Amino acid sequence: MIRFNCDYNEGAHPRILERLVETNFEQTAGYGDDPHCDRARDLIRAACSTPDADVYLLVGGTQTNLTVISAALRPHQGALSAVSGHINVHESGAVEATGHKVLALPSDNGKITAQQVEDAWRAHFEDETQIHMVQPKLVYISHPTEVGTLYTKTELEAIYKVCKERDLYLFIDGARMGYGLTAPGTDLTLKDIAHLCDVFYIGGTKVGALFGEALVILNDELKKDFPYFVKQKGGLLAKGRLLGIQFETLFEDGLYYELGRHANKAAAIIREACEKKGLSFLCPSPTNQQFPILPNEMVEAFRDKYAFADMGKVDEHHRAVRFCTSWCTKLEDAQTLADDILNF
Amino acid sequence: MIRFNCDYNEGAHPRILERLVETNFEQTAGYGDDPHCDRARDLIRAACSTPDADVYLLVGGTQTNLTVISAALRPHQGALSAVSGHINVHESGAVEATGHKVLALPSDNGKITAQQVEDAWRAHFEDETQIHMVQPKLVYISHPTEVGTLYTKTELEAIYKVCKERDLYLFIDGARMGYGLTAPGTDLTLKDIAHLCDVFYIGGTKVGALFGEALVILNDELKKDFPYFVKQKGGLLAKGRLLGIQFETLFEDGLYYELGRHANKAAAIIREACEKKGLSFLCPSPTNQQFPILPNEMVEAFRDKYAFADMGKVDEHHRAVRFCTSWCTKLEDAQTLADDILNF
Amino acid sequence: MIRFNCDYNEGAHPRILERLVETNFEQTAGYGDDPHCDRARDLIRAACSTPDADVYLLVGGTQTNLTVISAALRPHQGALSAVSGHINVHESGAVEATGHKVLALPSDNGKITAQQVEDAWRAHFEDETQIHMVQPKLVYISHPTEVGTLYTKTELEAIYKVCKERDLYLFIDGARMGYGLTAPGTDLTLKDIAHLCDVFYIGGTKVGALFGEALVILNDELKKDFPYFVKQKGGLLAKGRLLGIQFETLFEDGLYYELGRHANKAAAIIREACEKKGLSFLCPSPTNQQFPILPNEMVEAFRDKYAFADMGKVDEHHRAVRFCTSWCTKLEDAQTLADDILNF
Amino acid sequence: MIRFNCDYNEGAHPRILERLVETNFEQTAGYGDDPHCDRARDLIRAACSTPDADVYLLVGGTQTNLTVISAALRPHQGALSAVSGHINVHESGAVEATGHKVLALPSDNGKITAQQVEDAWRAHFEDETQIHMVQPKLVYISHPTEVGTLYTKTELEAIYKVCKERDLYLFIDGARMGYGLTAPGTDLTLKDIAHLCDVFYIGGTKVGALFGEALVILNDELKKDFPYFVKQKGGLLAKGRLLGIQFETLFEDGLYYELGRHANKAAAIIREACEKKGLSFLCPSPTNQQFPILPNEMVEAFRDKYAFADMGKVDEHHRAVRFCTSWCTKLEDAQTLADDILNF
C-alpha cells in the first residue's frame, strides 16, 4: 500500500530527530523559555522580516486556531470563514466551544474574496438590527486552502485592505504553509504574508516536524496577555524546547522550503499524469494536495494499491479523490501512481 | 547550576528517543489509529487489570484535565477539588473557561477526605435553594498531590465509596503517578487506583516521556463520544503514534516504574539530609518533591548553585522551598545538595 | 402612523393587567413556587393533554432558546436549524455563546424537511471522520416560522419520526404559537404539537402577555435538573408569579386562541388586498406576518403612514416588506392599509 | 403567617401598576427604544449626576451580573469577590458558565477591603508564574452586601483607588441599593457611588418594582457594543418600555428612596427589639435584612407564625436567622415580631 492519504503519515525529517537526540540531556527551563525556542523565534522573525512580531510555538492546528480566535474576539463577535474552512468543518466545533460563531461565506475553491468580506461587513453594520446578530470581527483564511488552492498577492492585499478599513483582524491558517510558499507560480512569499495579515501560523506538523505550528502575531492588539490563553486552552507544552528545536531545524538553513518543494514536485507528477489523461479536477491546485475526478472503475482499481481520500460522488460515473503528497513522499511512488493513471 | 526546579528539565529517556528514530519512516494512520497506540493502550489496560477501559493518549496535563472535566459535567455542575488542586490554581482558569466552577475544599496537605466530599454533597443537596448553587458532580484529586503527598488505600477507598453513594465521578490527576506508585511505604498500586475511581491518568511528561498523559476511562458513562472532546479541545495529535511509541516504551518492561523509583531515591537523599539537619517540612512527602523549610541564609546561599522553587515566607527567619527530582536527576547531584544542607 | 412593524408594540391584554392589579398584594414564595404558577402549569398541561410534562415559565424567547439548547446538548453537539431560524440569525450568537454550533440547513420558506434532517444525520454518522465534526443532536424548528409559514401535521410527524429514529431531540420555538394554532387551514393543534416533539414553547410575549414563554418539556431526558439552567442563564424571575398570572389568564378560558384568531383575521384583510392587487409574496403565510412584494413606489408612499419592516430588494422595481399584525391590531387599521393597497 | 423571608413577596408599588395600565395601549418601538426608557435613563443619569453614563434596564440581577462580567472580561480574567458574594454562591455558576473564575476573598461581614484587592493584585502580578493563573481584572462588591452591611465612603474610595491604580474594574451589585442609600448612618449617596466605580446597578426587583435593574455604565471601555451582550445573554426585553415605565415611576419623585426608608424603618423595629433582648447578630446591619442569633426555642416557636430564613446553627443552643423587610412590609407586622421577641 502506497500512502497518499494525508501529509502526516510518518514521523519527522531525520535532522529533527538527530537534534532531539543531541539536545536530550540539556537542562532548560520549561514552557518555551529556553534557548532553542528563543532561537527558533528569532529565525522565524528574521524569515518574516518582522522584528517586532510575537512568535509562539504550539503543538497543533486546531489548538492554534481556537486559541487565536478566542483570544482575539469579544463574546459577541464571530469569525468570517469560507464555508469549507477548517474551523467551520473539521474542528468539532472548537471555535463555537469557545463561544463564537463561525460566519460561513460561500466558496467553491476554498477561497474567499475581499468583496465577500466587505459585503459581510456591510450586511452587518448597515442593518439597524445589528445588535441581534453576531458581529464579524475576524477573517479566517487558509493558505494553502483545504483544497490546495492559493491566494495571489493581489487577492491577499485586497482582503487585508478591507480588513484594515473595516477594523477586522485577518488570521491566516498556514497548516500547509510550506507547500504554499514553494508552489510553482505563487507570488506570495513568507515576508509578504507576514506583512499582509494580523496573525498567521507556519505549519510544522504537516511539513516535516513531529508536530508544531509557529504562530506569528503581528498586530499589537492581539499580543497582550497571549501566554495566558495558550496555557488556559491546554496548549502550553511543558518541554517547550521540543518545539523550539524542531523549528530551529526547519528554519536555520531552508529545510522548511526544501521539504515543501519536494512535496509539490511529487504532486506535480501526479497532477500532470491526470492532465495528460484528460481528467478534470475539483479545484486546480499547485500544491501538495491534488483533487482529480476519476472514473469509478479507476477509483475501485486503485483502492488496494493506494491509500487516498474519497471526496465523494461527482456524477453517476465519477468520484473526486484526494492524492496528498508530503515532505516524505518518494518520487518513485508518485511516478508509480502517475503511470497507473496513464495506463489505466 | 544544578536543577531541582521541576521534573521536566530534560528531554526523554533515551530508549524513547531510540524508538522514535527506529519507527520514524513507518507509515501509519493518524490520530492514534495505529499499531503503536493500540499496543500502548493494551499494555496500559493490562497494567491496570482493566480490560474494558478506554485509554486515550493526550499531550499534556491541563489539556487532559479540561477535556475530561468538560466532557463529564453538564453546564450546572462543578468539580470538587482541594483548594491547592492544580485545576484550582495553576491552569489559568482552564476548567472555568469550559463553563464549570471549581468548588474548592480546604486542605493543608494537598489532600481531601471522604468526609469533606460527603459534607459538600450534603451542603448542596440538603439545601432547599440548591438550584441557585453549582451542583457538585465530580471529585478531582491528584496522586501524588501538588505537594508530594499520597493517599492511602484506605483513604482512596473511602473517597470512592462516597462518590459511588452520591453519584459523583472520581477523577485522579496522575501527572506524577510514576513517583507515587513507587514511593516507599505507599500501599496503592496502579491496579488499585484503576479500580478505585472513574477516570484517571498516568503522567508521562513528568516521568520520562517527551510529553504525554495516558488517560484511562473506567466508567462507561464517561466513555461515550469522548474522541469528539479530544478533537474539539485541540488535544488530538495528528501523529498520534508519537504518544503510542512513548507509552509502549514506558510500559512494556517496567521502565515507568524504574524511572519513578529513581527519582524517589534521589529525593530521599535530600529529605534525609533535611531531617538529619533538623529542618521541618511544609508537608511530609515520600515522593519526588520535597518541601523543606530553610533558614533564609541557606536559601540565599543555595540560589547560585541550585535551581529550586521558592514557596514563600514561613516566618521572619525561614522560607519554604521545593526541591524536585526526576527520572533524570543524577544521584550524585542529590548527594551534593544533601551535603551542602548538612554542612551549612 | 399605524404600526404593522411587529407584534409587541403594546403592553398586554387588559385582563392580564387587571389580574396583576388584583393579586398585587398577595404574598407568595418567589421563583415560580406559587399558586398562580402552579395553576398556569396545570392549565397548560391540560391544554396539551400531557399530564407528565414539566412546564417552565420564562421571560423571553432568546433566553428560552439558549437555556433549552445548552441544557440539552453535550459540548460536542450542535443544533440543526433552517438557515433562517431565529437562533441562527437573530440571537447575537446566543447558542454559540453557550458553546454549540448551529448547523444551518438551506430553506426558502423558513421550514426544513424530514429528509433534510435524515440527510444531515447520515452526512455526519456515515462519515468516518465524524469526530472531527459537530455531532447533530437537536433539531430546532419554529412554528410558525420566522416568515409566517406553518408545518402541516404530516410534515411534523415525518420530522419527529426521523428524530426518534436518529436519537435527535426535536425542539419547537413557538414564539408565535398562538397565531399558528388559529391560522385558517392549519391541521396542527396544540395537543398534536405537544405529542410530536421533545420540548416546545408557547409564546406569550408576542401574543398578548407583557412578556413570557411557557416552556413544555416532554422528554424525560431533558427534565433532569432543568431549574438549575434557568437560574444559571439568568432566566429565573424572582417574582415568578407574574408569569403564572399571565398564563393563567391566557389559558383559563381560551383568551390565547381568541387573540391569535384576531391577529390572523387582521392579517387576512391585508393579504387578500395584496392578492386582489396581483402582488406576489416572499412566502405564502396564513398567519399574522405577511410578506408581500411591493412596487418601490408603493413602499415609498407607505413609509409615512405605516410602520413596517423592509425585507430588502427583490428586483430593480420591487422590494419585499413585512406587515405584522397582532392580538392588538385594530381591524379598521388593517382595512385602511388594505384600501391603500387596492387604491394605489 | 407573616412573611419576613425575602423582599420580593409581593407585586409592585401600586403607582407602578397604575402607570402600566395607563400606558398599556401606547404603541412604541421595542427593545428599550421608547420614550419611557429614554426618560427613565435620563432620570437615572440625573440622580447620579453622570450625564455621560450609559444606562441599561435589565430584568434581573443574575442576568445583569453575568452580562456585565462577561462583557468586561477577556477569557483569561476573573472577578474578585467576597467569598459570600452573590456571584460566588447563589447564581448557579452563572459567571463560570460564561468562562470566568470568581476569585473568592475571605470576608466575615460580606465586605472586602482595599487591602485585600491590592494583595490579590500583587499575589498575581508579582508571581512569575502568573500566566498559569487567572488574572484578576474586575472587583465585584455588593452594596448593601448579602448580609445587609454597607461600605462607608472612605472604604469605597479606597477600593476604587486601588482599582484605578491596578487597572481593575469596580462593579457594584446594587440589587438592594434602595435600602443602602436610605439606611441610617450611611454616608454614601447615589452620586457618590456613581463616581466611585466603573459600573453598578440600581435594583428594582427588591425595591418596589415588578422586576428590573438599572445598570449604569460609567467607564467608556465598558460601554462599547454593550447592547449585543444584553441580547446574546437573553436579557433584551421585547417590550422594554415595561422597564422604562417602572424606573420612571421610581425615580421621578423620590419613590425609590421612600420605599427604601420604609423597609429600613421596619427592620429597625425588629433590630431594636433584638438588641433590647440582648441578642447578638451575625453582622450589624443598618438595612432591611437583620441576622440575629436566636435561642433554638425562639426559632422553633416562631416558625408557625413567621416566614424567615434559617442561616444555620451557631452553637448548640442558638441559630442565626434572617428577618427581611421590604418596601411593602407593614410596620405593625414588624412591631408584632418585635413584641414577640421581647416577650419571649
- Note the residue count of chain C: 344
Q: Which of C44, C40, C60 is nearest to C52 (CA)?
A: C44
For testing contact with chain C, the best of A73, A101, A308 (most C CBs within 10 A): A101
Partner-chain contact B27 A9, CB within 8 Å: yes
Q: Which of B76, B225, B227 sits opposite C225 (nearest CB)?
A: B76
Q: What residue of B is the nearest CA neighbor of A234?
A: B63
Query: Tell me, what's the pLDDT at C1?
Result: 87
Residues of C in contact with A104 (CB under 8 A): 104
Q: How confident is the model at residue A175 (pLDDT cuts 50, 70, 90)?
A: very high
pLDDT in 10s for each residue of chain D, 344 residues: 899 999 999 999 999 999 999 999 999 999 999 999 999 999 999 999 999 999 999 999 999 999 999 999 999 999 999 999 999 999 999 999 999 999 999 999 999 999 999 999 999 999 989 999 999 999 999 999 999 999 999 999 999 999 999 999 999 999 999 999 999 999 999 999 999 999 999 999 999 999 999 999 999 999 999 999 999 999 999 999 999 999 999 999 999 999 999 999 999 999 999 999 999 999 999 999 999 999 999 999 999 999 999 999 999 999 999 999 999 999 999 999 999 999 99
CB of A75 less than 8 A from some CB of C: yes
Q: Which of C90, C99, C133 sits opposite A97 (nearest CB)?
A: C99
CB of D75 less than 8 A from some CB of C: no
Distance CA D73, CA D99 (A): 10
Residues of B in contact with C71 (CB under 8 A): 74-75
Q: Are A251 and A44 in contact (CB under 8 A)?
A: yes
The cell numbers describing B214, all together, are: 495516558
Q: What residue of C is the nearest CA neighbor of A104?
A: C104
CB of C232 less than 8 A from some CB of B: yes
Q: Are B11 and A239 in contact (CB under 8 A)?
A: yes
Residues of B in contact with C222 (CB under 8 A): none
Distance CA D89, CA B101 (A): 11
Judged by DSSP in three states, D254 sits in coil
Q: Which of B90, B96, B132 sits opposite D101 (nearest CB)?
A: B96
Q: Does the CA dihedral C163-C164-C166-C167 come out positive or negative? A: positive
Q: Which of D22, D44, D12 is nearest to D201 (CA)?
A: D44
CB of D86 less than 8 A from some CB of B: no
Q: Are D176 and D151 in contact (CB under 8 A)?
A: no
Query: Tell me, what's the pLDDT at B108?
Result: 94
The nearest CA of chain C is from the CA of B53 a distance in Å of 20
Residue D103: CB atoms within 10 A of its CB come to 24
Supply the pTM of this predicted model.
Answer: 0.97
Residues of A in contact with C96 (CB under 8 A): 78, 96, 99-101, 134
Q: Are C341 and C270 in contact (CB under 8 A)?
A: yes
The cell numbers describing C275, all together, are: 392578492
Query: Tell me, what's the pLDDT at B1?
Result: 87
> Using N-to-C axis directions, what is the helix angle for D14-22 and D241-251, rounded to 10°?
130
The nearest CA of chain A is from the CA of C19 a distance in Å of 33
Partner-chain contact B67 A234, CB within 8 Å: yes
* Cβ neighbours for A164, distance < 8 A, ≥ 6 positions apart: none
Q: Are A194 and A48 in contact (CB under 8 A)?
A: yes
What are residue B184's phi and psi, to 5 degrees?
Answer: -60, 130
Q: Which of B11, B23, B98 sits opposite A239 (nearest CB)?
A: B11
The cell numbers describing D315, all together, are: 452553637
Beta C306-307 vs C2-3: how paired, if at all? parallel
CB of B75 less than 8 A from some CB of C: yes
Residue B110 vs residues A186, B213, B285, B316, D56: alpha-carbon distances, Å: 57, 21, 11, 24, 45
Strand C135-142: give its sheet, edge to edge: C54-58, C213-217, C199-203, C169-173, C135-142, C77-82, C102-105
Residues of D in contact with A71 (CB under 8 A): 74-75
Residues of B in contact with C74 (CB under 8 A): 71, 74, 225
CB of A101 less than 8 A from some CB of C: yes
CB of C59 less than 8 A from some CB of D: yes
Residues of B in contact with C225 (CB under 8 A): 74, 76, 131, 135
Distance CA B242, CA C255 (A): 67
Q: Which of C99, C135, C228 sits opposite B76 (nearest CB)?
A: C228
Residues of C in contact with A87 (CB under 8 A): none
Strand intervals (E) in chain A: 2-3, 54-58, 77-82, 102-105, 135-142, 169-173, 199-203, 213-217, 289-290, 293-295, 306-307, 309-315, 318-324
Distance CA A309, CA A324 (A): 8
Distance CA D95, CA D107 (A): 20
The cell numbers describing A55, all together, are: 512568535
Distance CA D287, CA C84 (A): 51
E strand or H helix at B139, and its extent?
A: strand B135-142
Residue D260: CB atoms within 10 A of its CB come to 24
Residue A248: CB atoms within 10 A of its CB come to 24
Q: What is the pLDDT of residues C75-134, one digit of tens each?
A: 999 999 999 999 999 999 999 999 999 999 999 999 999 999 999 999 999 998 999 999
Q: What residue of B is the nearest CA neighbor of C231?
A: B132
CB of C89 less than 8 A from some CB of A: yes
Distance CA B66, CA B85 (A): 13
Query: Tell me, what's the pLDDT at D1?
Result: 87
CB of B312 less than 8 A from some CB of C: no
What are residue B214's phi and psi, to 5 degrees?
Answer: -100, 110
Distance CA D71, CA A76 (A): 9
Distance CA D210, CA D201 (A): 16
Residues of C in contact with A78 (CB under 8 A): 93, 96
The nearest CA of chain B is from the CA of D138 a distance in Å of 15
Query: For chain B, which ranges sit under pLDDT 70?
Result: none
What is the mean pLDDT of the segment spanning A318-338? 97
Judged by DSSP in three states, B174 sits in coil
Amino acid at A140: Y
The cell numbers describing A17, all together, are: 530527530
Partner-chain contact D96 B100, CB within 8 Å: yes
Q: Does the CA dihedral A234-A239-A241-A247 come out positive or negative? A: negative
The cell numbers describing B254, all together, are: 517496567
- Subunits with 3+ Cβ pairs within 8 Å of C are A, B, D
CB of A231 less than 8 A from some CB of D: yes
Q: Which residues of B191-207 are buried (b: 16+ CB within 10 A; e: fewer)?
A: ebbbebbbbbbbbbbbb
CB of B25 less than 8 A from some CB of A: yes
The cell numbers describing C76, all together, are: 460536542
* Cβ neighbours for B241, distance < 8 A, ≥ 6 positions apart: B23, B26, B28, B32, B34, B36, B37
What is the mean pLDDT of the segment spanning A118-147? 97
Partner-chain contact A96 C90, CB within 8 Å: no
Report B:315-334 residues touching A (Cβ under 8 A).
328
Q: Which of D11, D205, D237 sits opposite C60 (nearest CB)?
A: D237
Residue B123 vs residues B118, B127, B135, C291, D312: alpha-carbon distances, Å: 9, 6, 10, 56, 11
CB of C135 less than 8 A from some CB of B: yes
Q: How confident is the model at residue A1 (pLDDT cuts 50, 70, 90)?
A: confident
Between chain A and chain D, how many beta carbons pairs sit less than 8 Å apart? 42
Compute, in degrees rounded to 10, the torsion defined by CA atoms D229, D234, D239, D243: -70
Partner-chain contact A60 B24, CB within 8 Å: no
- Subunits with 3+ Cβ pairs within 8 Å of D are A, B, C
Q: Are C263 and C327 in contact (CB under 8 A)?
A: yes
Distance CA A297, CA A319 (A): 10
CB of B99 less than 8 A from some CB of C: yes
Residue B144: cis peptide before it, omega within 30 degrees of 0: yes
Q: What is the ipTM, given to two decimal places? A: 0.96
The nearest CA of chain D is from the CA of C60 a distance in Å of 7
